[in-house]
Structure 1
Amino acid sequence: MERLQAAGGWVPFSTYMDWALHDSSHGAYGAGRLQVGPSGDFATSPSLGPDFAELLLPQLLQWFQQQPGDGPLALIETGPGEGQLALQLSEAIARDAPELRERLELVLVEPNPGMAERQRALLADAPLRCRWQSFAQLQESPLTGVMLAHEVLDALAVERVLWDGQDWRLQGVSLVGDAALELAAGPPLSEALRLELDALIPGPSRPEGWCTEWHVGLTPWLAQAAAALSQGQLLVIDYAHEAWRYYAPQRSNGTLMAYRGQRASDDPLLEPGHWDLTAHLCLESLERAAAASGWSLLGQRRQGEALLALGLAQRLHALQQGSPAELADLLSRREALLRYVDPSALGDFRWIALQRSGAVGAQPLFLQDPPLA
């Protein structure tokens, strides 16, 4: 409230979203309030068990093997959450690719102190060397390897844009009285943003009040990521839509959602700093931002299809060979594997692979046809 008052009673939505998520004292991530997992605020694929990391591993190993020479390699995870995926991958690499253990380090890019503290506790005994670095620090000595962005870009602050019946305007957050917040229209869009928006929202004007998001943080984030990686791949795993779906007339309130305690809400103003805020990616916006930042697109696929290409069906079949004593664990793993590919949930995530410098190698495994046996 004090910040809004100091700003004149209104701020762009991106400013509010950044405060609500990343403020080091009051933000949901910055202060470490959010808990990731089935018993926390929301579940992610790694929080359901180690199978997700083990299915991802062959893809990472293919990319590590494509790096020239025998110098040091890095697995860089941005926005590592609780650190579960980092731990699971380090354990799988130490077990299944021990020859990489001396060459490979795990680098975590976590801007939020509250989350970094929990990650350090979980990874204290990880089998791979671990260090925490910012993008700015990595840019001083860029690394070679693979970078992961699993459910990261959907939490970048977005602008909300509103069609008022005659013009496009920014939507922001305003102060009502002394203690209430509301979404309120602000100034018209800049000419540059208007041109970008027009390129992705063709056809007739939207109805008055139609609102959506614009991912202003994508290009800066991808530019920082590119400067931190001298050669290698970036795998983005996140909810995403094609522009024709994202900006369809019937999607009149965008994709912005709030999550807390396994509950979802379309009200982003609930208890600021206590709810996760997330917005889907637009594939075309991501691809344009990537190209402008020095990345080459290798391809994209839905998570369900990607995991089937990496052997999920075979892993499901293998569960049938377990002993009766393992029944509870086997059923839990089976449920997790099915959730990974459920087209109404995690299975609709997109895997988007980008290349940084160097010659493009063989087609990524996750883009290939699933194995027959």
Structure 2
Amino acid sequence: MKASDVPCPEWLQQRLEKNGNRVPFSTFMDWALHDPVHGAYGAGQLRVGKDGDFVTSPSLGEDFSALLIHQLSDWLGCLAARHPDSLLSVVDVGPGEGDLIAQLITLFQASASDLLSRLEFVLVEINPGMQVRQRNRLQGLATAQCRWCSLAELASEPVNGVMLAHELLDALPVERLILSNGALQRQMVALQTSGGLSSLVWAEDALPEPLKVQISVQAERDDLQLPPDGAQDGWATEWHHSLKPWMQQAHAALADGMLLVVDYALEASRYYSSRRPDGTLLAYRRQQASSDVLRDPGDQDITAHLCVEAMLGEASVAGWIPEGHCRQGEALLALGLAERLNALQQLPGDQLAEALRRREALLRLVDPSCLGELRWFSFHRNPPEASAEGLHPSRFLREPS
């Protein structure tokens, strides 16, 4: 992580001065991303897509959604049988530009219009700037019921359906921990003023007791070693304190169904390793990654990978029943990626440019240096009764035929 000493914008300077000139990194991250006037997402400053600040799988075209819909149709079909008179919901938490929902509506309309008539699409978006863009993206898709609400509002009237958290959890605010004088400290963001100029710098505080207890309890539960053997002073990492309340809210919002999390994640042995001395925290802007996460607050995305064991542990405590997980490449192959690539070869010659564009997009979805390192995790809200042969795994977890 770069040692930052960067200019502080006026809006953030005022915010810091009201909060004693220093705040935990998690607070800084929340302000930088979600402030409704100045935040990267809150004000709708960031753009998702090939011409934006970063790409996601749906932003590369509809092939990702065309594969995902096979899994969604399986899950929704089972729920339709369990709840024959109930409206079913596809809940997208953190819908970005709205590409995924727009593509799914079009695909359901073309291939499963009978199921579409039983569906509503719920967009959970806390940032007003992004919500405006999503509404514009979904204009004209009047064949589907769409609504916007919060997880808390959903929890007051839980729905039956499938909840999607696609590249969402890696953007939840995180605590930064740093090893200093042989003990874990909490990394802070501080305001420094010199010669009339204000800048942002890193600082350290002792761990507050609630955070210390949380780390201790979770580390014992998930068999995490913090700090890891061999870590030297200056070793730093992230702590996902926001996962617990998010998993609890998501569980309360769904009466019956499935949760699919698609995100970047590492096993604890790689996440909390002395060989990873700067953690996973990165900023993204104009398709460029940077470790200088304090620079230009409100103008760049900030993300941190998930720890697999920690996420599964918090999900289980919240009441979710984990089904399984795999890398995106494995999931998409199980859903028909190879067949889709082969079909591109059958397109007529006058569609060669389109075939090549789609082929490149499909390969980026599974490229380990691009989106192929994403992990897919599925969770049951209320698992069905197992047959004599046991529960059959979801389609994306099966070996490709």
Q: Which bracket does the TM-score occupy, shorter chain normalised?
A: over 0.9
Q: Name the SS for the 1:90 alignment partner.
A: helix
Matched, 1:166 2:182: yes
Q: What is aligned with 1:117?
A: 132
Distance 2:15 2:303 in 1: 22
Q: What is aligned with 1:180?
A: 199
Q: What is aligned with 2:99?
A: 84
| Correspondence list, 1:1-373, <5 A | 1-67=13-79, 68-70=82-84, 71-126=86-141, 127-177=143-193, 178-190=197-209, 191-195=212-216, 196-197=218-219, 199-201=223-225, 203-204=228-229, 206-359=231-384, 362-371=392-401
Contact kept, 8 Å, 1:142 with 1:230, in 2: the verdict is yes
Distance 2:258 2:151 in 1: 16
Q: Name the SS for the 2:372 alignment partner.
A: helix
Q: Give the stretch that moved more between structures: 278-287 or 358-367.
A: 358-367
Distance 2:121 2:64 in 1: 18
Q: Name the SS for the 2:346 alignment partner.
A: coil
Instruction: List runs of 5+ in structure 2 lacking aligned partners.
Output: 1-12, 386-390
Q: For residue 205 of structure 1, report the CA deviation from its aligned partner.
A: 5.1
Letter in 2 for 1:192: V
What does the per-residue CA deviation read over 1:58-92, in whole Å, with 9 as the maximum and x for residues that have no partner? Answer: 10011111210312100000000000011001111
Instruction: List runs of 5+ in structure 1 lacking aligned partners.
Output: none
Distance 1:268 1:24 in 2: 19
Q: For residue 308 of structure 1, report the CA deviation from its aligned partner.
A: 0.4
Distance 1:153 1:188 in 2: 23
Q: Give the stretch that moved more between structures: 61-70 or 237-246.
A: 61-70
Alignment size in residue pairs? 371
Q: For residue 197 of structure 1, report the CA deviation from its aligned partner.
A: 4.2
CA RMSD of aligned residues (A): 1.2
Contact kept, 8 Å, 1:165 with 1:207, in 2: the verdict is no
Contact kept, 8 Å, 2:42 with 2:129, in 1: the verdict is yes
Letter in 1 for 2:384: A
Alpha-carbon distance change, 168 to 193 in structure 1, aligned in 2, over 3 angstroms: farther
Q: Name the SS for the 1:254 alignment partner.
A: coil
Distance 2:229 2:347 in 1: 58
Contact kept, 8 Å, 2:321 with 2:383, in 1: the verdict is no
Q: Name the SS for the 2:237 alignment partner.
A: strand
Q: For residue 138 of structure 1, report the CA deviation from its aligned partner.
A: 0.9
Distance 1:341 1:206 in 2: 33
Contact kept, 8 Å, 1:167 with 1:188, in 2: the verdict is no
Q: What is aligned with 2:388?
A: none
Letter in 2 for 1:200: L
Query: Structure 1 stretches (4+) deviating beyond 4 angstroms?
Result: none
Percent of aligned pairs with the same amino acid: 50
Distance 1:69 1:265 in 2: 47
